[in-house]
A and B are shown apart, each in its own frame.
Chain A
Amino acid sequence: MSKTGLMQQSFEHHVSDDLLLDCMRCGFCLPSCPTYLHMGQDETQSPRGRIALMRAVRDGFIEWDSSIERSFDLCLGCRACEPACPAGVQYGTLIEQTREAIQSLKTPGIVEKTARKIAFDHLFVEQKKMGKAVSLVKVYQKSGLQKAVRKIGFLNLFPKHMKSMEAALPPVEKPVATLRKVHTSPLKVAFFTGCLMDTLYKETNGKTIALLEMLGIEVTIPDGQKCCGALHGHSGELARGLKNIEQNIEVFDSDDFDYIVNNAGGCGAFLKEYEKHLSTEKGQRFSQKTIDISSVLIKGGLLDWLQALPKREVKAVVTYQDSCHLRNVNGVITEPRAILNNLPGIVYKELPKADMCCGSAGIYNLLQPELAGEILKTKMYHVKEINPAIIVTANPGCLLQMQAGIHLENLQQNMQAMHIVDLVYSIIKENE
């Protein structure tokens, strides 16, 4: 069978006809799409265009070629099109299905195969392995053992400009000091540690727990949790990721906690959508209980407590870059801003176009460095408009990207990027 025929079959198998039909082709998604805007308003690089391409491949209307694949590859998966869509098209699901349809027909080269195997069967499955790999990266950073690291293909999963972020990477983790308990709360939560957050940003996880406990929230960290599977899903490896989903749903299924808390926007969105991939009662319960850290801190009474703190002299301008998935999928927009607005000693300024993707998008900045760089350039243009001392993010990918942006623009003397948890923790610690 021809490539086109095979691809058509694969699309028929993987990509939902009903979901495709939801698109009315009205074009309301166009102004929300970063690739459309960054590529000279090219309809090929728009959600409407990509859905039309999915439909055309599925219907056998066009011959399959690399230009079509490129259009799908260039999608950031930021899902800014979803809130903009009047018809509620589930674009995120469609692009995941499309990538699976393409991936299932691929015979990747040995390097990609190895990298994918390491990534999706090992690294992004178990935290322990991720921990080892991250320490390897650190060895790499210190001793320049480039070849060794390249051999395992691990660096393929990280941004090309990672080198420029050496300085930004947290050095050896220090144990996190607890915070004085200021509240009592009936809330009980389970903490989803995440793989990157639990390795590269382990300290942030420690501070997350410290903040929750400060508010009197009881925190449990269930054993046996695995990587959320988002990267599998976004790379057309959903079948491999399903095992993670199943296990996570199992280990978090308990009446003992009210919420399942995460502090990474990308993971949070995927966790919120577990029920789509596993529509069991347990799956639905998991998705319903999923919550991001800012929202749970507010539920735990953080704002009241912050408002009662004595006023302090303003020391720094702080801004916030939305995590696309936190904003567009989980709809968490006001909560992080409310926290930042109430932190003593800072003044919050809204970043123009904070709702536009920063170009990180999982491993996009590695796969499409050129376009990711363009998007980051635009982002930094807006950052410079308000010139903050701190850019706050709520997702490890965005954090790395903003750090890279600061280095690229040579602003590291006066500007830093921080996870919202780290900033809140440090300000509270200062106030203790």
Chain B
Amino acid sequence: MNERALQQFQNILGKEHVKNSTAQLLAYSYDATANFQRMPEVVLSPESAQQIIEILHVCNTFNIPIIPRGSGTNLAAGTVPYAGGAVLLFNRMNRVIEFDQENLTITVQPGMISEDLCKFVESHGLFYPPDPSSMKISTIGGNVSENSGGLRGLKYGVTKDYVKGLQVVLANGQLLKTGGKLAKDVAGYDLTSLLVGAEGTLGIITEITLKLIPLPTKKMTSVAYFHSLEDAARTVSQIIASKIIPVTLEFLDQKTIVAVEQFMKIGLPTDVEAMLVFEQDGDETIVMKDINEMTRIAKENGAFITQLAKDEIEAEKIKTARRVALSALSKLRPTTILEDATVPRSALAEMVRRINKIAERNNVNIATFGHAGDGNLHPTCLTDVRDHEEMERVEQAFAEIFEAALDLGGTITGEHGIGEMKAPYLEWKVGESGIQLMKGIKAVFDPNNIINPGKIFAKETKKRVMLHV
């Protein structure tokens, strides 16, 4: 790292908030993505937007890449340094700025832990629905940058549906405010939407205003097992067609069920092709009606066991299978790669079948679970990074899975983002014109390409594979 730049960072932040020991650099050289790691040159912990503005001036002067990072839970290598540079932390920017119960909004700093935010508003009878599985540790800033989804996405939508306004430091050091508390606001381009899910490549988010809704009073959970994938998929389609939008509708395939049962011994039937866990929340009478109706639809479509949870303890038991799915699978092989292909609901069964065929053809072990209600599947590959030959087959299999998802009208990522990991596949989804337009937008926001460079856009696009399914 340039000595003068380092000195300037220290002047801005004070020495103790500029970290560059070997251990510190190493500890910020990775995120939750398997097989991605690169060392930054310095780690910075600002406490205000003003300090971030000053940091960006230094970065521009010395051409230092800057990588904003929440808790590093993302699964697409979005926060792994691409070419050294400064990792920017938000651990000192984690406060509530304003809680406005009249307008039902909350304005927070990006470093706040998502679960802390949820608990805070819930203690006041309000609800912030997006619930990524990592919410215990992920930051709200990270959620906004990745446009994170979650288990409640089907009914309540994802992070972008709740972001009303942002304060952002742009690459040139200017402070930008977008949106606000208004329910209606059509003044110019919707920059808020552009910045949500931009994966920290367009600006540094320093304040977030979120929409809140009333907290539902009642929640009920049920489970159904199926001998055929098609039956499960038909159940999902029919539930929605019956004008029921459950809060959660989760899917586990046979491999996942077997792994969970081996791991937890909770008495799951292992000879089934699929299980669905569904949950409804809201007003008590409506919840009852919906959950009974969903159980009826499941039975009508071939579910041979259904079970309604009597109370919260039983509901927890039912949800255990879905919650421990990843843990149970991760026990089977040294390396676990969780992917994120999404298809229209109607193509759910077809997609799972294709995933299984692709795994078989490439001789790799892939189990699938995910959010059936929104078609967001998590094919999870169990492998060993030390086996390079196998890793090549894994990569090939995933390329084929992305191809299959697109072929069925889906996408290459439903909630994890592109990051560095999926950059070579983005063009498959958005086309050449899409890439050119996105690159143009990036260049306007960040002409020197210093904000999280190397993400979203790959040097080259992977060749599309020819599928024989």
User: Hey, which bits of chain A sit against chain B, CB under 8 A?
Assistant: 18, 21-22, 24-28, 30-31, 40-44, 46, 49, 52-53, 56, 61-63, 65, 67-68, 70-71, 86-88
- DSSP majority for the A interface? loop
Please give me the residue from chain A that is nearest to B94 by CB atom.
Answer: A41
Please give me the residue from chain A that is nearest to B45 by CB atom.
Answer: A40
Let me know if B32 and A26 touch, CB within 8 A: yes
Let me know if B32 and A44 touch, CB within 8 A: no
B72 CB → nearest A CB, Å: 6
Please give me the residue from chain A that is nearest to B324 by CB atom.
Answer: A86
- Which 6 pairs, one residue from A and one from B, show the smallest C-beta to C-beta distance? A67-B21, A86-B327, A49-B27, A21-B334, A67-B23, A43-B27
B119 CB → nearest A CB, Å: 12
Q: Does B71 reach chain A (CB closer than 8 Å)?
A: yes
Let me know if A24 and B336 touch, CB within 8 A: yes
Docked pose: A234 CA to B225 CA in angstroms: 47
Please give me the residue from chain B that is nearest to A63 by CB atom.
Answer: B22
Let me know if B32 and A62 touch, CB within 8 A: no
Let me know if A25 and B324 touch, CB within 8 A: no
Let me know if A71 and B73 touch, CB within 8 A: no
Let me know if B137 and A31 touch, CB within 8 A: yes
Number of interface residues of B (CB under 8 A): 39
Docked pose: A62 CA to B30 CA in angstroms: 14
Residues in B321-373 with C-beta less than 8 Å from chain A: 324, 326-327, 330-331, 334-336
Instruction: List the B side residues contacting A71 at CB < 8 Å.
Output: 23, 27
Please give me the residue from chain B that is nearest to A41 by CB atom.
Answer: B91
Let me know if B32 and A30 touch, CB within 8 A: no
- Residue interface mask B147-178, A partner, CB < 8 A = 1: 00000000000000000000000000000000
Docked pose: A31 CA to B73 CA in angstroms: 12
B216 CB → nearest A CB, Å: 26
A168 CB → nearest B CB, Å: 35
Residue from B22, B33, B334 within 8 A of A62 (CB atoms): B22
Let me know if A87 and B327 touch, CB within 8 A: yes
Docked pose: A30 CA to B336 CA in angstroms: 19
Docked pose: A56 CA to B28 CA in angstroms: 12
Instruction: List the A side residues contacting B34 at CB < 8 Å.
Output: 24-25
Q: A25-B32, A31-B137, A52-B26 are in contact. List 10 more A-B contacts (CB 8 A).
A: A22-B334, A26-B32, A27-B137, A28-B134, A31-B113, A40-B91, A53-B26, A61-B26, A70-B23, A88-B327
Q: Does B296 reach chain A (CB closer than 8 Å)?
A: no
Please give me the residue from chain B that is nearest to A17 by CB atom.
Answer: B386
Let me know if B331 and A87 touch, CB within 8 A: yes
When A40-B45, A63-B22 are in contact, do A28 and B27 touch as well, CB less than 8 Å? Answer: no
Let me know if A53 and B23 touch, CB within 8 A: yes
Q: Does B439 reach chain A (CB closer than 8 Å)?
A: no
Docked pose: A25 CA to B336 CA in angstroms: 10
Q: Does B237 reach chain A (CB closer than 8 Å)?
A: no
